[in-house]
Amino acid sequence: DVRVGSMVLNNHIRVTERKPLAHVASSYGFVEIDRQGMILNAAKNLKGVNVPLITGARVGNLYVGDRIDMALLKNAPAFLAALDEDALNALSEIHVGGTEMLAYTVHSATIRIGSGDRLPDKARLASSILREIAEKKMNVEYVDLNYASPFIKLRPGKREGG
């Protein structure tokens, strides 16, 4: 069963269920993948999306149980998997087309991830920054993670929700 991520058997049975990480366009419509690139589900269209959509790449004729080539998605799943749950829930899309990865929040802020270097560090920074944005209700235009010290550009005007 593709929903089973791992099982440990030594006097006790422990089953780890695979969890959806993102949706990706396919020849059929959309597929839902986990952190290892395993396709968990396929659908003609998206309804009730609760994980980010990876755009800028299409996985072709793959189906449930197949694994996608992570290089095709420019390691976007590795970035998403390294985020904490709140940060992952704050993202609506991650775009892998072009020379750099861009993520978009549910509040229309852009996160410039850049190339695939330092992804664990960038994910940790993104999680921390997204937490601070939510706590302070900041109205952010973009966050640039391409530098050792991230740059945050605020939108002029009111704070979120205010």
Helix (H) or strand (E) holding 141: strand 140-144
Residue pair 110/91 in contact (Cβ under 8 Å)? The answer is: no
At residue 8 the predicted structure's pLDDT band, cuts being 50, 70 and 90, is low
At residue 74 the predicted structure's pLDDT band, cuts being 50, 70 and 90, is confident
**Dihedral sign of CA atoms 45, 51, 53, 54 in order:** negative
Q: How much is the mean pLDDT over the chain?
A: 87
At residue 71 the predicted structure's pLDDT band, cuts being 50, 70 and 90, is confident
Residue pair 36/46 in contact (Cβ under 8 Å)? The answer is: no
β-bridge mates for residue 105, sequence order: 91
Highest mean pLDDT among 14-18, 75-79, 103-107: 103-107
Q: Which residue did the predictor score with more confidence, 4 or 85?
A: 85
Strand order of the β-sheet with 91-95 is 39-43, 30-33, 22-25, 53-58, 91-95, 101-105, 110-114, 140-144, 151-154
